[in-house]
């Protein structure tokens, strides 16, 4: 199983984003797709605190992947990767919170990184980029603040665009460059290809952080223009699947990687939102995508299918949490859910 992802047919295009996080121009990861032609990706955010929940999610993820007996092409990391201090590329946290945390035998795949707000504390964003540059054999892949992953390279069936949603940490020119880059990438994706955009902050969320009007306006206009299939994010520490009226995009929030969960502020949208730890599994097979929200105990909490023309069907679900009756206290952290 060692270096199984080196056998995958994937081209990873590293597009330079800003001087602070490197300007690598291109890197190839050679792969083969499994016999059934399926593409499988995991997604997880808000994970790097080295707490009991992160350990549990990591164990469950390893067991889940091993039990599936299929090839996974990668992990989509949705930000808040290191919630504590990070003192350089030799900090023990690299081993404790990442390399050893996620069993290499079971989870031998590239981890594609996006930045969260906690990654901008101090100089962690630069350290995370430096680690990827200095350790090319690591599963940690982070060449720039935004970049593209094509799977497979010759005739991509899935394209993942990894973005930086931390508008306050980018200067105005970089923010506009990223939007222009996003527009051009979405326009260039071959017809019939599944497209995922990943970043840390949600456009829509039932959780305490709630909706982001700036992203809805500035990124959302492009999502609508190009009929984006999936937007995947974290920030709220929970698992959600939202279908929003007048939006063709399916919104998946997978912020259950280990940080403490918090109560929901909205329960009028769905079909699924629960304050639980876990991760998401995306499977693409021909004209059908299946998304499973997996809890920290390994049980499927919610699953849905989406056809290439945008028809969404819930396969199974455990429902949504009721919204808190004390939203102000919840936002202040006085009603934080214990885990």
Give start and end residues of each alpha helix (H) in the chain. Answer: 52-68, 93, 124-134, 172-188, 213-218, 220-225, 327-331
In the predicted structure, residue 334 carries a pLDDT above the cut 60: no
d(CA 130, CA 56): 28
Which whole number is the average pLDDT over 324-330? 66
CA-based nearest residue to 326, from 335, 318, 337, 313: 335
Q: What is the pLDDT of residue 84?
A: 87
Q: What is the pLDDT of residue 5?
A: 46
Q: How many CB atoms within 10 Å of residue 211?
A: 15
pLDDT tens-digit series, residues 291-306:
999 999 999 999 999 9
Cα angle, residue 44 at apex, residues 246 and 104 outer, rounded to 5°: 150
Q: What is the pLDDT of residue 328?
A: 60
Q: What is the pLDDT of residue 155?
A: 81
pLDDT tens-digit series, residues 24-62:
333 333 355 666 789 999 999 999 899 999 999 999 999
pLDDT tens-digit series, residues 244-280:
999 999 999 999 999 999 999 989 999 999 999 999 9
Q: Is 62 helix (H, G, I), strand (E, B) or coil?
A: helix
pLDDT band at 191 (very low <50, low <70, confident <90, very high): confident
In the predicted structure, residue 168 carries a pLDDT above the cut 80: yes
pLDDT band at 327 (very low <50, low <70, confident <90, very high): low
Mean of all residue pLDDT scores within the chain: 88
pLDDT above 70: percentage of residues in the chain: 86
Q: How many CA atoms lie within 13 A of 234 on its CB side?
A: 37
Strand pairing category for 140-141 and 147-151: unpaired
Which whole number is the average pLDDT over 155-174? 95
pLDDT band at 91 (very low <50, low <70, confident <90, very high): very high
d(CA 119, CA 3): 27
In the predicted structure, residue 221 carries a pLDDT above the cut 60: yes
Q: What is the pLDDT of residue 192?
A: 87
Q: What is the pLDDT of residue 36?
A: 77
d(CA 285, CA 162): 22
Q: Which two tokens stand for residue 229?
A: 């299939």
How would you list the strands of the sheet with 158-162, edge to edge?
A: 27-29, 10-13, 147-151, 158-162, 194-198, 230-233, 250-254, 239-243, 271-274
Instruction: Name which of 107-116, 132-141, 328-337 the model is least confident about.
Output: 328-337
Q: How far is residue 169 CA from its own chain's centroid? A: 19
In the predicted structure, residue 211 carries a pLDDT above the cut 50: yes
Q: What is the pLDDT of residue 339?
A: 36
Which whole number is the average pLDDT over 152-173? 93
Instruction: Name which of 25-34, 118-127, 317-326 the model is least confident about.
Output: 25-34
d(CA 219, CA 55): 34
Which whole number is the average pLDDT over 91-112? 96
Do the beta carbons of residue 32 and residue 21 sit within 8 Å? no
So what's the architecture of 4-331 in CATH?
A: 4-Layer Sandwich (3.60)
Domain locations along the chain: 4-331
Q: How many CB atoms within 10 Å of residue 284?
A: 24
Q: What is the pLDDT of residue 29?
A: 38
Whether omega for the bond prior to residue 233 falls within 30 degrees of 0, making it cis, is no
Do the beta carbons of residue 311 and residue 265 sit within 8 Å? no
């Amino acid at each position: 199983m060692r270096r199984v992802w080196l056998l995958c047919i994937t081209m990873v295009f590293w597009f330079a984003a800003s001087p602070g996080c490197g300007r690598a121009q291109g890197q190839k990861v050679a792969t083969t797709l499994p016999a059934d032609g399926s593409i499988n990706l995991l997604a997880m955010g808000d994970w790097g605190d080295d707490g009991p929940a992160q350990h549990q999610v990591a164990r469950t993820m390893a067991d889940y992947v091993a039990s599936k007996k299929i090839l996974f092409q990668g992990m989509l990391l949705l930000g808040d990767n290191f919630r504590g201090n990070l003192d350089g590329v030799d900090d023990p946290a690299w081993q404790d919170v990442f390399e050893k945390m996620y069993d290499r035998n079971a989870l031998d795949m590239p981890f594609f990184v996006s930045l969260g707000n906690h990654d901008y504390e101090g100089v962690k964003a630069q350290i995370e980029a430096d680690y990827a540059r200095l350790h090319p054999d690591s599963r940690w892949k982070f060449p720039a603040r935004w970049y593209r992953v094509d799977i497979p390279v010759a005739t991509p069936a899935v394209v993942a665009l990894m973005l930086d949603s931390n508008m306050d940490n980018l200067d105005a020119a970089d923010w506009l460059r990223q939007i222009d880059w996003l527009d051009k990438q979405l326009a260039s994706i071959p017809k019939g290809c599944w497209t995922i955009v990943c970043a840390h902050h949600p456009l829509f969320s039932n959780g305490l952080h709630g909706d982001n009007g700036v992203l809805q306006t500035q990124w959302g206009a492009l999502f609508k223009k190009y009929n984006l299939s999936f937007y995947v994010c974290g920030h709220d520490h929970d698992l959600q699947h939202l279908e929003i009226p007048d939006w063709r995009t399916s919104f998946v929030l997978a912020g259950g990687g280990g940080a403490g969960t918090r109560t929901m502020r909205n329960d009028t949208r769905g079909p699924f939102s629960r304050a639980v730890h876990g991760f998401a599994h995306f499977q693409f097979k021909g004209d059908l995508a299946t998304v499973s929200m997996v809890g920290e105990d390994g049980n499927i909490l919610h699953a849905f299918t989406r056809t290439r023309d945008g028809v969404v069907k819930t396969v199974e679900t455990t429902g949504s949490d009721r919204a808190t009756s004390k939203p102000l206290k919840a936002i202040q952290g006085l009603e934080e859910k214990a885990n």
